[in-house]
Amino acid sequence: MAAREKMLAALIAADSPVCDDCIWELAGLSSRQRAYQTGQQLQAVGALSRGDGTCAVCAKYKTVSRPTGQPIPAPATTMETDVADRPWHWEGNVQAALVESLSAEGWSILNTANTATKEAGVDVIARDPAGAEWWISVKGYPEERATKATRPAVQARHWFSHAMFDVAMYRTERADVRIGVAIPGPYITYERLFEKSRWLQRTAPYTLFTVHQSGRVVATASE
């Protein structure tokens, strides 16, 4: 059973609104990020509604999901299946967790790029509660695969360098925006690279958003 079917079945069985923090375990998904992303997919096809409410499991007031009674239209495409099988540290899941965290803190999300299709442009454009516009580059962490010759740590170095290039390009394009880089963590490769490149953060100020598997986001601003 695919992630969408698992989540919808769990919500129907619960017969009450449930938050992502609780439904991912009830549905047997790999993480709360997977629940968030799957919930977004199900909402897009009309199979469930999402909004503020009290979770029937943890009794906390959060974003909860409710089945609409509509079936899931058509089988998942190959791309949707591939996305559903991605680990929590995949770029799309990192972006989803970041967006959810920022939204919960009162940020307005102005635009997000489709990471599954490798859409060009800024990954996340948002406005913070103080009214400042942010451009955020999002990177994942490479999967360990027997078919890949490049080790994850080596590939991660390339991805981090791409993020630093984004910082330079964003600053050149817009002097007035605030810049962010979002990565999954903690990963020792990213931690070491960040420390080694602190000079760049001081020269071209940006905030590092470290997204944890639990969904917690830690921001490290320029010194």
Which of 81, 116, 135 terminates a domain? The answer is 81
> Is there a single domain that holds both residue 169 and residue 70?
no
> Is there a single domain that holds both residue 163 and residue 100?
yes
Going residue by residue through the chain (223 aa), what tens digit of pLDDT does each one get? 577 888 999 999 999 999 988 998 899 887 777 788 788 778 878 888 988 899 999 999 988 999 998 877 655 444 454 555 678 899 988 998 898 899 889 999 898 887 766 677 899 999 999 999 999 999 999 988 766 667 889 999 999 999 999 999 999 999 999 999 999 999 999 999 999 999 989 889 999 999 998 889 999 998 7
| 133-165 pLDDT, tens digit each | 999 999 999 988 766 667 889 999 999 999 999
Residue ranges making up the domain that contains 173 = 86-220
Taking the C-alpha atoms of residue 120 and residue 198, their distance in angstroms, rounded to an integer, is: 27
Amino acid found at 154: V
Which CA distances in Å does 181 have to 98, 99, 193? 11, 13, 13
Kindly report the pTM of this predicted structure. 0.68
Coil, strand or helix: which one is 194?
A: helix
> Is there a single domain that holds both residue 45 and residue 141?
no
> Is there a single domain that holds both residue 106 and residue 210?
yes
User: Environment class of residue 154 by beta-carbon count within 10 Å: exposed (0-12), middle (13-18) or buried (19+)?
Assistant: exposed
User: Which segments of the chain does DSSP mark as H helices, in order?
Assistant: 3-14, 20-26, 32-44, 78-84, 91-104, 152-173, 188-196, 198-203
> Is there a single domain that holds both residue 61 and residue 111?
no
> Is there a single domain that holds both residue 104 and residue 153?
yes
> Is there a single domain that holds both residue 100 and residue 210?
yes
Which of 81, 116, 144 terminates a domain? The answer is 81
> Is there a single domain that holds both residue 131 and residue 71?
no
DSSP 41-79: HHHHTTSEEEEEEE-TTT--EEEEEEE-SPPPPSPPPHH
> Is there a single domain that holds both residue 28 and residue 113?
no
Please choose, from the candidates 45, 92, 82, 83, the residue with its C-alpha nearest in 3D space to the C-alpha of residue 67: 45
> Is there a single domain that holds both residue 14 and residue 62?
yes
Taking the C-alpha atoms of residue 18 and residue 7, their distance in angstroms, rounded to an integer, is: 10
Which of 31, 55, 81 terminates a domain? The answer is 81
Coil, strand or helix: which one is 40?
A: helix
CATH for 201: 3.40.1350.10
> Is there a single domain that holds both residue 104 and residue 162?
yes
- A 10 A CB-CB count for 204 gives 15
The tokens describing 223, both together, are 């010194």
> Is there a single domain that holds both residue 72 and residue 175?
no
